[in-house]
Amino acid sequence: MKLSRLAVTLASAALLFASAAFAAEANKTTVRIDQKVTVDGKTLDSGKYTAEWTGDGPNVQVTLMHGKETVATFAAQIKQEATPNPVDAVGTSDGPDGSRQLISIYPNGKRMSIQLATNGGAGSGSSPSR
């Protein structure tokens, strides 16, 4: 009896940890930026970045990392999309100084996008880079 109770407890703990790991991966994506962009007042070189977001509801806090280094943290909104994104991508728009501004992130395989709050989630002339 004690052995079966221990087995159930261990199985429950394993499921709890697995679901926590899955939830953490659900709020994380890797994206390739193909050109210099500005975000959070910083210019980022092209390269591979990891975006991780936290928060409840549509308002989230996004941390953008290059390797293990945090390069930007910014507020954003989650927007539901009609279909899953076929690839990881970013959306950009022209900034007032001619630079490219990061305005959105489209995680691969998810029916959502991350719209940067500083641009209200949409900018004229925005273009996803997929």
Residue 60 lies in a domain: yes
Structural domain includes residue 24:
no
CB 94 within 8 A of CB 125: yes
Residue 95, in any domain of the structure = yes
Query: How many domains in the chain?
Result: 1
pLDDT digits (tens, 9 = 90+) for 67-109: 999 999 999 999 999 999 999 999 999 988 889 999 999 999 9
Predicted TM-score (pTM) of this structure: 0.71
Q: Phi/psi of residue 23, each to 5°?
A: -65, -40
The percent helix, strand, coil of the chain (3-state, each to 5) is: 20, 45, 30
Give residue 90's domain range. Answer: 29-129
Q: Is residue 73 part of a domain?
A: yes
Partner residues linked to 42 by β-bridges: 39
Q: What is the pLDDT of residue 23?
A: 45
10 Å CB burial of residue 28 (0-12, 13-18, 19+) is middle
Q: How far is residue 115's CA from residue 125's CA, in Å, rounded to a whole number?
A: 15
Q: Would residue 72 count as lying in a domain?
A: yes
Name the 3-class secondary structure at 68.
coil
- Residue 2 in any domain: the answer is no
Answer yes or no: is 17 within a domain. no
Query: What amino acid occupies position 7?
Result: A
Chain centre distance of CA 92:
15
pLDDT at 118 (0 to 100)? 60
Chain segment 11-57, per-residue pLDDT in tens: 554 544 444 444 445 799 999 999 999 998 899 999 999 999 999 87
Q: Could you tell me the end-to-end alpha-carbon distance of the chain, in angstroms, rounded to an integer?
A: 56
In a domain, 41, yes or no: yes
